[in-house]
């Protein structure tokens, strides 16, 4: 169950097109439909089109997304344009779709980075490590124990038992996340999960991986045992609303947004 759960949850993941683009592609576990021999026979010109396009391009980065059911959790792949090295952020319940995307894009994972330890964000870690045994796992120091504790990572509450390999490196607020050529700033924002971290890359625009802290016109749940709405709101105002308005927020669920939009329109944490 630990590493195979995702295999039981359907065979398709949705890859969305560029930000604001309605286009999306259905992508099977084995190969995209546009590469199927029959499809290629009937629509040969379409096989020349890229199968997976970035969710967003932010010089010098490209970000791709895989959505995992049943929680519609976003796994992100970030790379520097033209380079194979990527970070895998929050691999969820459909690790085969993540692996398929990595293969299709000919990426080379450099690390798994986790915003927090809830099961829908960590379920894919084990399967990815089966494929890439040397891949280091990074998570905030306060959520590391959730990786190996099905009660703490909330999977036990759903009647399943999700665990992950333990962390190889712990993230702390104010200390940069550095993996190869990747460098991001890190902040700790408790409230949804005690050890939740957010991190942002200085691209053009800035790219913020917000996990379940801040969503498009929403925030993460705070009714879990270690939840704290006041801490969540305070962290958002202190660490996120001080980023540039143009900074793009890539949340753990749902569509991207911007810091400027949330400062104006977020009904849960308005900027007074
Ligand atoms: Zn969560």
**Per-residue pLDDT, 5:** 28
**d(CA 211, ligand 1 centre) in Å:** 7
Please write the tens of the pLDDT for every residue from 183-229.
999 999 999 999 999 999 998 999 999 999 999 999 999 999 999 99
**Predicted TM-score of the model (pTM):** 0.83
**d(CA 153, ligand 1 centre) in Å:** 9
Tell me the domains of the chain and their CATH numbers.
Answer: 5-265 (3.60.15.10)
Report the percent of the chain where pLDDT is more than 70.
81
Site of tokens 């932010």 = 58
Please write the tens of the pLDDT for every residue from 40-70.
677 665 555 556 889 999 899 999 999 999 9
Contacts (Cβ under 8 Å, ≥6 apart) of 84: 106, 107, 108
**d(CA 264, ligand 1 centre) in Å:** 24
Identify the band that residue 10 occupies on the pLDDT scale cut at 50, 70 and 90. Answer: very low
**d(CA 215, ligand 1 centre) in Å:** 12
**Per-residue pLDDT, 53:** 87
Q: What are phi and psi of 148, to 5 degrees?
A: -115, 10
235, 236, 241, 246: CA torsion to nearest 10: 130
Higher pLDDT, 96 or 44: 96
**d(CA 107, ligand 1 centre) in Å:** 27
**d(CA 195, ligand 1 centre) in Å:** 11
């Amino acid at each position: 169950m630990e590493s195979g759960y995702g295999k039981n949850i359907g065979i398709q993941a949705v890859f969305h097109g560029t930000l604001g683009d309605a286009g999306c592609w259905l992508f099977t576990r084995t190969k995209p439909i546009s590469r199927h021999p029959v499809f290629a026979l009937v629509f040969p010109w379409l096989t020349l089109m890229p199968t997976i396009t970035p969710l967003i391009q932010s010089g010098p980065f490209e970000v791709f997304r895989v959505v995992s059911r049943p929680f519609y959790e976003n796994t992100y792949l970030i790379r520097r344009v033209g380079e194979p090295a990527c970070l895998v952020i929050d691999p969820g319940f459909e690790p085969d779709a993540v692996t398929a995307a990595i293969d299709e894009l000919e990426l080379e994972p450099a690390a798994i980075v986790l915003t927090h330890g809830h099961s829908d964000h960590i379920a894919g870690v084990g399967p990815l490590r089966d494929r890439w045994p040397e891949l280091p796992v990074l998570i905030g120091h306060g959520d590391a124990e959730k990786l190996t504790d099905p009660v703490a990572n909330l999977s036990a509450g759903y009647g399943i038992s999700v665990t992950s390999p333990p962390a190889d490196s712990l993230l702390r607020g104010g200390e940069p996340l550095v993996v190869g050529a990747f460098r991001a700033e890190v902040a700790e924002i408790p409230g949804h999960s005690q050890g939740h971290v957010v991190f942002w890359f200085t691209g053009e625009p800035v790219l913020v991986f917000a996990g379940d802290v801040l969503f498009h016109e929403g925030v993460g749940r705070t009714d879990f045992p270690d939840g704290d709405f006041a801490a969540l709101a305070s962290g958002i105002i202190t660490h996120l609303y001080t980023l540039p308005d143009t900074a793009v927020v890539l949340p753990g669920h749902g569509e991207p947004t911007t810091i400027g939009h949330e400062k104006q329109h977020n009904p849960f944490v308005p900027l007074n």
